[in-house]
Structure 1
């Protein structure tokens, strides 16, 4: 009777949904932080609330979601350790330990969870708006506050955000100022203007520069040339901007310090305003002048008719810093922006001809993958330099004294303190699964694990192997070995098998909530890299997961029982791609997961 009742409820719900006037929105677009998210099924309207299918919708907001079918629950988490838990047919969401009422309960249709999208994104601190004219639900990160500090000799601004923001930096002249645009960021405060008179900065201005796509603009009015360093937080979505004067020279003619605050003892930081302040429909603040909307010449200026030529891009590495030097023949105009998937830093040099035509420089660094440079477009000429990152890092961009060499500095500090336990499945007398042509799982997993070790060690990450050769290791010994040697993350590598040889794809298992994000990151990287069907992330009571107190996952990279996947698992190139994907997922996790106390 219980099963019949559940079936009747499902049928009734489906009928109710289908009876909603134009209940199915086709085609509805979901745009999260500027990325259009492909939906696993057609969204529906239930009791006047838009319901969106779960898979893959939270990643552009820096969050991961996992469906737990046995519990009929959805768990959403992000780098801030925030956890939102939803249950099918339960109108209450659990945010940490607090209950929040949803407009309607999540539902399960054809084995796919549908959730009230606007409400759940709101629980994650996002700004949400439905645009009727384009039938799109737009979701963006929110900048809920700006704080300002004045450590000796520098100025530090911190933008407090609810999700990832991409910083685009421009240096402008007439008057001298540095502009930092936070793309896909909604500023929920009134316009801010604060006198500083320190570190080469006269004042700081912050406002919503543009509504679609949303851009929060920070303008530093300068009294002298400065260097700007931008860094992400590993445990939040805060963005830190550090400003230091480049020299102690006097302010250029026409640049005067801002007046001092009117009242002694007034707050030195940008005042805090409740994050619930309404967002105007139009951009906040006055419309920018032409010089604010595009980069202009940096000092010193270029002679009339002089054409900028980029002669070469070269690399310098020393003391944990990688410097990319873009050498030109005249002063440069440039714009800097951040891109994701993968993380990249893009620097466009305006009105520039790239003489080498194309350069690609591999980088042996814990944080930088490679540097590419080429002519991006002609008429107008733009030379583009792309720095591909292994993870988000602190960086600064500026020019030398003559203005003809652009210097991109990136902090290479390895992820010190962490120790990754790699567990190649099976071994010795235990061959694991055996493929149709005799390929043994134990050989595949060991080879992939050794490749992952090499990649992590190159990045300065300590690695602990549960086995390095074809030997048998008892299951219970593997977590114990990791604990005794100070492991902070545990990754067990396997190849899957099924009696039905048509079953294929990759999947990742976890057990504890702290392991969910690690599982999602590794599975995302494997899916993106290999092109195999993703079977998602799942929970399982495996011993190597159950006996671990550190973040632990078990990765099934492919089905060795599937003839085509077995053939690919024999290929060195395919194994290398698997290893690189696992290593990227681990690095992404280590960048946001603090080293446990005492290590």
Structure 2
């Protein structure tokens, strides 16, 4: 991807202006203004290694010292005049002096203002760099303060032998202080320097944990874990520093009242899981027929089965499944006196389920997904591997415009329009859709696979517009990383070429980050047309052509889903 011819002179003018104002050390014109800047990075005040300059609302600042508190490794090659950055998540970025494009995980992306070297100072567009690598920035012009914060992007939990394990993931190093509050019982975590990018309230209702609440605080993020009883807990750090793990152990025992315990005649000896095409079955083994209460919980999706007046002889058991539908099955003695056994089935997406008696005495079956045969009100779209959930990823977005055409058409805008059209077409076919972005917002690369996974995606389709230094380059193309995705890539490129009338450039293997992160499911990247070709740029902004391209992707998906198992992964 190349800049338009007009950008080169503008960059040169900016560098000359920047050199003058840095040399003078005084306030400059609106086009480039030297400013005193207070910088707070991950809760720490960082002293800049030189002057900062604001240009068209974008802060250019020396890179030294700004990235370390975020866990980003920065290396400056003086000879090549290249700054290399590696985020804690493994994202790679290279910025070359005066180059209006950066290389991010092998892809060329336009930069609002390129890296410049002036008077031995290496200045970068700090907000763009930090946000592209997943962090958050805010600038208060009144106080001259720039705040760069890692984001808390995910909160999950699972049962372990040690207790309920709550994982808090971020884009950079997370540091948490903790305290216990009573009346009601709460565990409060103060994560200094980080900002939340998770739901304000997450209902859990497992073990001692009722819910988790997240909010901004003066110093960062405040997480409140609402507890059902006093607990013992332990906090550890993983991945190094990007994950905080809170293990909630057994409740602290209260003074024992006089015993009124009544033993239960119903004894559950085991839980098992049986894999099935497009679904699964949980088998509860007991000494007599069981009656169970059932309900569902959201965020994440769970089926909860409570068996009253029963004891679970193993006390607790956890089955890690990860078969595309079921993530984990947990069973434990949820309550004593009265005795209640709770079974939690954590799902990757909403699914039909049915609880019924098994063929053997004392068996209780929980049928899931296709095993229910799509009960009333649950249309199940099937492919080679059962129910289908398509993750539609509109490339770029927000501060990242993607490639820009000869007349200024931006890749982020046209691919969002195609993705939204595809979403509507898929919905009409009763196929579930997960939109990675459904508006002009920036979504970090590492978050895109996580959003698809949380949505239970079974297919991943990333929509892009191609770019080339050759203005005559033309055609549509698809890419895949894992060979199991090749049939999907081939089907889609053929259909898009047919519906759009463009030449096909075929399906090729490539290690784009979004494809590498989603190799557990068929994943492709669609380069719809060349936005750097003046004719194809015009086609890309035409709503009728956008519809034709979306129809081609849909037909390619349908063609793939109709393949026999031997042809599909």
> How does the TM-score come out when normalised to structure 2?
0.41
TM-score by length of 1: 0.39
